[in-house]
């Protein structure tokens, strides 16, 4: 058997093995349909199972199939004045439709709930990601044959594109995101355009138009792919001929126009049916600001930098050297397209797109990375270098796979990746046990340390201290297996009564006898009789038995209610073996600004009582409401009356006083 012809299938097999090793769709923490994918998928369940265009079933499946703490909750409903629409576009739901029915049939036959979210549906969407990935590789191979006849080079490039990029994660571990599907659609668009330029057949123009329509209704900003037409066509004459054939021949224009419009009608009809409007911008305040691109961060940041975490793409840029010599038209058209693409994408309000690793939005355009890699091979004429290039590519693939696994097991400290955390964990394969808190954002730091060599104020460790091989000094703290919760540290909080935000960080050197056990710090706020805030953190996550490693917890403190309140820190060992602690440190960090970091949890702070003041403005206003002169009969949301603010007069509050 000629393995060269089976490279796409072999790559899919590798992905399947990675799926089995790293993915557990039966776990509520590791479903296939997650994050934005819930919105793309929501069209199918809304119209085919629940018959609810308002998506009122979200809470039902979230409570049934996802974590109870709602850590993975995703609300994709966008409320307009006329009704609720799905924030996301429906393109993926069309691509998923046959797989949805496969999952539905499997659920009915196997006894799983036929509710759209049970295990058969999760596996069906995972299979869809693999299927479209496989098609993408088949089409990409056809595209590359327009640029080289060397099948061995094509094999190298296919492997590099599949295993040397973040396509792995967004196919294997997050297959409900849009990117592997747009990788397929953009590849189809490029192939049909290349074929149209070569053959001039009507079917090729129609295929390109339909692919473009599907691209737009899957991820509208990817409609920018039309700017790559000058490069794809190859030269100025071919580009002009391509356009002339479309707009001067009804035999080509009519089917191509119909193929483009057909998918575009899907969201338009949906919006009109729900809101009465043909166009709805469902992303609210989320938008692009072309005056503020984040080019450097987008490309080189240690947090999500595309070229840093996808060095295969950085290598591919050397293909421009060959392209400059081969065709100035293609050089300038491709360079201009990619520059504008990166400029535009980096102008999004959240430049990293909350990507897992590298820049997920660039996955859609990896066909151009593959083409540039072909040019790199063509640029290198030295035979020795041609032999070394695949070896270098193999090294970059190994680096990508290593970083993929590092991100899967969270080797970096909680929070954005910095240069320090990147290099210090470069070859790390254990879970990070610290939290990133930028020193530049700390106004005041109060630190309390205990190495168990002396009796320290505020620490309650006299009952724990043992003498043996400590991490430092002669003594450490030993927690016996299955021990009760024991108090470690107490501090009055009167001086923090009016201060916010404050972060509590607790750290220690930890040495457990058993891996994957439970030893928790308990943080409580209140008095000795009554605590109103409690937080816990498992110290042993990511630690290995018999090894000392620094581990810490961090949490935002709640508002201190009384000058009589205190901070209580306890520890409890629920392991089957001993846990040793040394160099214990407690820090109270007063932050400079009001902003908060979402990777540091907020303390549990229950509400004791609530006073609610509500008015629909339909009845006469009574205390504490005031400013009756602002009441108007224009543009009310419900009833006849609303409160208006005249821009020509000073703004006045319609609430005179308020109690909470």
Q: What is the DSSP string of 566-630?
A: EEEEEEEE-SSS-EEEEEEEEEEEEESSS---TTSPBPP------------SSS---TTB--GGG
Q: What is the pLDDT of residue 303?
A: 92
232-275 tens-digit pLDDT: 999 999 999 999 999 999 999 999 999 999 999 999 999 999 99
Tokens 């003041």 belong to 613
| pLDDT average, residue stretch 92-101 | 98
User: What DSSP character marks residue 4?
Assistant: G
Secondary structure of residue 322 in the 3-state scheme: helix
Ranking 196-210, 217-231, 369-383, 559-573 by mean pLDDT, the lowest is 369-383
Is the per-residue pLDDT at 647 higher than 80? no
- Average model confidence (pLDDT) for the chain? 91
Is the per-residue pLDDT at 577 higher than 90? no
d(CA 498, CA 602): 17
**CB neighbourhood size of 471 (10 A):** 17
544-553 tens-digit pLDDT: 888 899 999 9
Confidence category of residue 402, pLDDT binned at 50, 70, 90: very high
Q: What is the pLDDT of residue 462?
A: 77
Q: What is the pLDDT of residue 446?
A: 95
- The domains located in the chain, with CATH, are 3-280+287-403 (no CATH), 439-591 (2.60.120.660), 611-660 (no CATH)
Q: What is the pLDDT of residue 383?
A: 65
Peptide bond between residue 47 and the one before it cis (omega within 30 degrees of 0): no
Q: What is the pLDDT of residue 405?
A: 93
| pLDDT average, residue stretch 44-61 | 95
Q: What is the pLDDT of residue 304?
A: 93
| pLDDT average, residue stretch 557-571 | 94
d(CA 630, CA 250): 60
Is the per-residue pLDDT at 614 higher than 90? no
Ranking 8-17, 334-343, 591-600, 639-648 by mean pLDDT, the lowest is 639-648
* Spatial contact of 410 and 431, defined as CB atoms under 8 Å apart: yes
* Spatial contact of 392 and 164, defined as CB atoms under 8 Å apart: no
Confidence category of residue 656, pLDDT binned at 50, 70, 90: very low
| pLDDT average, residue stretch 408-429 | 92
Instruction: Give the H/E segment covering residue 443.
Output: strand 442-450
Is the per-residue pLDDT at 419 higher than 60? yes
pLDDT-above-90 percentage for the chain: 74
Is the per-residue pLDDT at 382 higher than 70? no
171-212 tens-digit pLDDT: 999 999 999 999 999 999 999 999 999 999 999 999 999 999
Q: What is the pLDDT of residue 633?
A: 67
Between the alpha carbon of residue 416 and those of residues 93, 283, 413, 530, the distances in Å are: 32, 25, 8, 37
Is the per-residue pLDDT at 659 higher than 50? no
Q: What are the structure tokens assigned to 80, written together?
A: 């307009």
Angle between helix axes 36-45 and 91-110 (nearest 10 degrees) is 70
Confidence category of residue 587, pLDDT binned at 50, 70, 90: very high
| pLDDT average, residue stretch 538-543 | 86
Confidence category of residue 518, pLDDT binned at 50, 70, 90: confident
Comparison of pLDDT for 547 and 215, the residue scoring more: 215
Peptide bond between residue 501 and the one before it cis (omega within 30 degrees of 0): yes
User: What DSSP character marks residue 76?
Assistant: -
| pLDDT average, residue stretch 485-508 | 93
Confidence category of residue 646, pLDDT binned at 50, 70, 90: low
124-162 tens-digit pLDDT: 999 999 999 999 999 999 999 999 999 999 999 999 999
**CB neighbourhood size of 613 (10 A):** 11
d(CA 44, CA 57): 12
Q: Which residues pair with 433 in a beta bridge?
A: none
| pLDDT average, residue stretch 36-41 | 97
Q: What is the pLDDT of residue 566?
A: 96
Nearest to 282 by CA among 292, 269, 293, 267: 267
Q: Which residues pair with 487 in a beta bridge?
A: 570
Is the per-residue pLDDT at 471 higher than 90? no
593-610 tens-digit pLDDT: 898 998 999 888 777 666
Confidence category of residue 311, pLDDT binned at 50, 70, 90: very high
Q: What is the pLDDT of residue 171?
A: 97
Identify the sign of the CA torsion 447, 451, 454, 455: positive
626-642 tens-digit pLDDT: 667 677 766 666 667 77
| pLDDT average, residue stretch 44-49 | 97
pLDDT-above-70 percentage for the chain: 94
103: left (phi over 0), alpha (psi -120 to 50) or beta: alpha
136-146 tens-digit pLDDT: 999 999 999 99
Comparison of pLDDT for 511 and 364, the residue scoring more: 364
Q: What is the pLDDT of residue 457?
A: 86
Q: What is the pLDDT of residue 245?
A: 94
Between the alpha carbon of residue 401 and those of residues 366, 368, 404, 621, the distances in Å are: 17, 21, 5, 64
Q: What is the pLDDT of residue 575?
A: 85
Ranking 91-105, 526-540, 621-635 by mean pLDDT, the lowest is 621-635
| pLDDT average, residue stretch 351-362 | 93
Cβ partners under 8 Å of residue 594, min gap 6: 500, 501
d(CA 67, CA 466): 40
Identify the sign of the CA torsion 158, 164, 167, 170: positive
d(CA 7, CA 141): 10
The residue count for the chain: 660
Tokens 């403005």 belong to 617
Confidence category of residue 657, pLDDT binned at 50, 70, 90: very low
| pLDDT average, residue stretch 220-225 | 97
């Amino acid at each position: 058997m000629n393995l060269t012809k089976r490279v796409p299938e072999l790559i899919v097999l590798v992905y399947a093995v990675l799926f089995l090793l790293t993915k557990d769709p039966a776990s509520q923490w590791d479903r296939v349909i997650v994050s934005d994918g819930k919105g793309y998928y929501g069209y199918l369940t809304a119209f085919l199972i629940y018959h609810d265009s308002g998506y009122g079933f979200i809470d039902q499946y979230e409570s049934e199939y996802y974590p109870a703490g709602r850590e993975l909750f995703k609300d994709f409903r966008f409320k307009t004045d006329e009704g609720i629409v799905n924030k996301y576009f429906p393109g993926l739901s069309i691509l998923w439709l046959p797989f949805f029915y496969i999952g539905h049939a499997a659920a009915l036959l196997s006894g799983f709930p036929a509710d759209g979210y049970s295990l058969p549906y999760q596996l069906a969407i995972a299979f869809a990601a693999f299927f479209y990935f496989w098609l993408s590789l088949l089409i990409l191979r056809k595209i590359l044959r327009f640029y080289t006849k060397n099948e061995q080079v094509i094999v190298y490039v296919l492997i590099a594109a599949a295993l040397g990029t973040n396509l792995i994660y967004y196919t294997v571990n997050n297959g409900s995101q849009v990117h592997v599907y747009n990788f397929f659609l953009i590849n189809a668009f490029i192939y049909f355009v290349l074929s149209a330029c070569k053959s001039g057949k009507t079917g090729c123009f129609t295929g390109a138009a339909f692919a473009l329509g599907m691209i737009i209704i899957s991820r509208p900003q990817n409609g920018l792919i039309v700017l790559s037409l000058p490069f794809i066509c190859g030269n100025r004459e071919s580009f002009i001929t391509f356009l002339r054939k479309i707009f001067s021949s009804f035999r080509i224009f009519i089917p191509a126009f119909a193929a483009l419009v057909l998918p575009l009608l899907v969201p338009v009809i949906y919006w009109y049916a729900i809101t009465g409007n043909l166009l709805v911008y469902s992303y609210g305040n989320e938008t692009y600001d072309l005056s503020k691109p984040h080019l450097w961060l987008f490309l080189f940041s240690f947090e999500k930098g595309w070229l840093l975490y996808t060095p295969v793409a950085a290598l591919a840029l050397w293909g421009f050297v060959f392209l400059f010599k081969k065709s100035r038209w293609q050089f300038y058209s491709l360079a201009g397209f990619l520059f504008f693409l990166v400029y535009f994408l980096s102008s999004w309000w959240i430049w990293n797109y909350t990507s897992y690793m590298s820049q997920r939005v660039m996955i859609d355009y990896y066909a151009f990375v593959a083409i540039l890699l072909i040019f790199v091979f063509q640029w290198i004429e030295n035979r020795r270098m041609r032999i070394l290039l695949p070896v270098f590519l193999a090294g970059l693939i190994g680096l990508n796979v290593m970083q993929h696994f590092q991100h899967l097991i969270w080797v970096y400290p909680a929070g954005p990746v910095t240069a320090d955390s990147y290099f210090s964990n470069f070859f790390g394969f254990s879970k990070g046990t610290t939290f990133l808190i930028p020193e530049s954002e700390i106004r005041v730091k109060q630190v309390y340390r205990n190495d168990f060599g002396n009796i320290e104020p505020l620490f309650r460790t006299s009952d724990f201290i043992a003498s043996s091989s400590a991490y430092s000094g002669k003594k450490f703290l030993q927690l016996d297996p299955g021990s009760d919760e024991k108090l470690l540290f107490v501090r009055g909080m009167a001086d923090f009564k009016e201060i916010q935000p404050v972060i509590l960080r607790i750290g220690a050197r930890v040495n457990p006898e058993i891996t994957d056990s439970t030893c928790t710090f308990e943080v409580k706020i209140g008095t000795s009789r009554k605590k109103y805030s409690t937080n816990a953190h498992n110290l042993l996550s990511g630690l290995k038995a018999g090894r000392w490693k620094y581990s810490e917890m961090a949490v935002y403190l709640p508002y201190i209610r009384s000058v009589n309140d205190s901070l209580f820190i306890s520890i409890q060992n629920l392991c089957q073996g001993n846990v040793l602690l040394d160099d214990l440190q407690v820090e109270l960090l007063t932050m400079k600004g009001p902003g908060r970091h979402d990777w540091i949890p907020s303390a549990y702070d229950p509400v004791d009582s609530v006073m609610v003041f509500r008015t629909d403005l339909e009845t006469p206003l009574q205390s504490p409401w005031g400013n009756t002169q602002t009441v108007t009969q224009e543009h009310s949301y419900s009833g006849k009356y609303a409160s208006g603010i005249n821009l020509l007069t000073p703004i006045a509050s319609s609430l005179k006083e308020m109690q909470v």
